[in-house]
Structures are given as C-alpha cells and as structure tokens.
Amino acid sequence: MSCAQSDNKPAAVRRGGENYAELVATPHPDRLVLWPVEAAREDFHRRPMLDDYTLIKVWDALPTVNAVLLLPDRPWLEFKACLHLYRRKPGPGGS
C-alpha cells in the first residue's frame, strides 16, 4: 500500500468522530493537556466533555517569553506559552 492509499486517520475519526472534542473524548483519558485555545473551541462547548474534568495545573511560560527582548517567532511562542492540565473527575461522568 502506498502512502497515498494508506488510511492515516486517527481511529476515532474512522469510527465517526467529527471534531476535536470527539477525538479527545473517545479514549476518555484520565488526564488531558490542552492549550487554552483548544479548551475554548466551540466543539468542546457543544459537547461539554470538559465538565468531566478538573483543571489541576497551568504551565505559563509567557513571562519568560516576554522577558526576551528580541525573539524570532514571538507570536508563535506566545501562542504556545501556556498549557492546561486536566484530570478526569471521579464519579458517573468522570469514571
């Protein structure tokens, strides 16, 4: 099978997942690491899967990025400077 013919889609997409929230929800992981812009996506609000999770840690490197005066690709680094760690809640929705 050539590369052009191979099905490189994630398993969740092959099973019918249509958006990013469904791809994340399919394995129902214990923990999620998302950029804030990912957590704010509309598909996470239409399918409120993050209600099953608690934000437990935020890594914010923006002060470090901003401390560097001349920095190539600053907008990209600013965009990627913050990560959120979520843990699945115990109980019916989270277990």
Section 10-21 average pLDDT: 65
- The residues near 60 (Cβ < 8 Å, ≥ 6 apart) are 81, 82
Q: What is the pLDDT of residue 94?
A: 58
Task: Write the CA distances from 21 to 2, 80, 88, integer angstroms.
Answer: 30, 19, 15
Extents of the domains making up the chain: 11-88
What single-letter amino acid sits at 55?
Answer: L
Confidence of residue 5 (pLDDT cuts 50, 70, 90): very low
Q: Name the strands in the sheet holding 53-60, side by side, starting at the edge strand that comes first in the sequence.
A: 31-34, 82-88, 53-60
Section 45-50 average pLDDT: 80
Higher pLDDT residue, 93 or 46? Answer: 46
Above pLDDT 90, what percent of the chain? Answer: 36
Section 25-41 average pLDDT: 87
Q: Rounded to two decimals, what is the model's pTM? A: 0.72
